């Protein structure tokens, strides 16, 4: 531990700056400018160099690349598709679910949309939550509630709840698409302004 600390100090900015200043002190010694007090001059310059050197900066933590997060969501979306294929839904809800999953698939499809989404942590979170939590929870709750409704009919149908939930999730996904489109539109407008300013 002490050895690694010593080696770390040898490679540090403080030691490098101090050594450079100490070398300047040796140059002064050989030219005769330091006089008989040359050891004090060399040590003093080393200390001054070490003091004025910028402090060591710890390395930034290595977080997962945003595109890697999207790859994980993509894999989870494939698993979700396998689950949904085994669920029997009424036609109206099945149609809504198909529209939603097609939109999610388009957002997750590798390409310019996914590249843009990778730089939008909030968008990745919305997409991840829809795939990993909201859609499976909505469908699973429908399946369980439908069974109980058959035993005790007369309450609001679980199909209506599922359709409403899927409609809300569709709105959320469409809002994400609109946000990405707006980002691209702003980028295009910025480029137009840049070209206009350059040609004035």
My answer on whether 36 and 85 are in the same domain is no
Domain count of the fold of the chain: 2
My answer on whether 170 and 76 are in the same domain is yes
In a domain, 57, yes or no: no
- Residue bearing tokens 């004090």: 40
My answer on whether 89 and 10 are in the same domain is no
Do 121 and 67 meet the contact criterion of CB atoms below 8 Å apart?
A: no
My answer on whether 120 and 167 are in the same domain is yes
Could you list the residue range(s) of the whole structural domain that residue 30 is in?
A: 2-52
Local confidence pLDDT in tens for the 200 residues of the chain: 556 666 666 567 777 777 777 777 777 677 777 667 677 777 777 777 777 777 666 777 776 666 678 888 999 999 999 999 999 999 999 999 999 999 999 988 887 777 788 788 888 889 999 999 999 999 999 988 887 666 566 666 888 999 999 999 999 999 998 988 888 888 889 989 989 888 87
The model's pTM is 0.64
My answer on whether 101 and 159 are in the same domain is yes
Do 80 and 136 meet the contact criterion of CB atoms below 8 Å apart?
A: yes
- Residue bearing tokens 């839904």: 89
């Amino acid at each position: 531990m002490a050895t690694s600390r010593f080696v770390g100090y040898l490679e540090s900015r403080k030691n490098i700056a101090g050594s450079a200043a100490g070398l300047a002190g040796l140059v002064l010694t050989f030219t005769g400018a330091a006089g008989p007090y040359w050891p004090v001059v060399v040590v003093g310059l080393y200390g001054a160099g070490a003091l004025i050197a910028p402090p060591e900066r710890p390395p930034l933590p290595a977080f997962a690349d945003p595109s890697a997060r999207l790859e994980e969501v993509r894999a989870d979306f494939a698993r979700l598709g396998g689950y949904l294929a085994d669920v029997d839904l009424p036609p109206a809800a099945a149609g809504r679910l198909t529209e939603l999953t097609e939109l999610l698939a388009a957002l997750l499809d590798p390409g310019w949309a996914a590249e843009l989404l990778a730089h939008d942590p909030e968008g990745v979170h919305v997409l991840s939550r829809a795939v990993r939590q909201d859609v499976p929870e909505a469908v699973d709750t429908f399946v369980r509630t439908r069974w109980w409704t058959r035993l005790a009919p007369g309450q609001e149908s679980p199909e209506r709840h599922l359709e409403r939930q899927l409609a809300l999730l569709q709105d959320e996904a469409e809002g994400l698409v609109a946000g990405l489109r707006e980002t691209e539109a702003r980028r295009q407008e910025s480029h137009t302004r840049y070209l206009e300013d350059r040609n004035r």
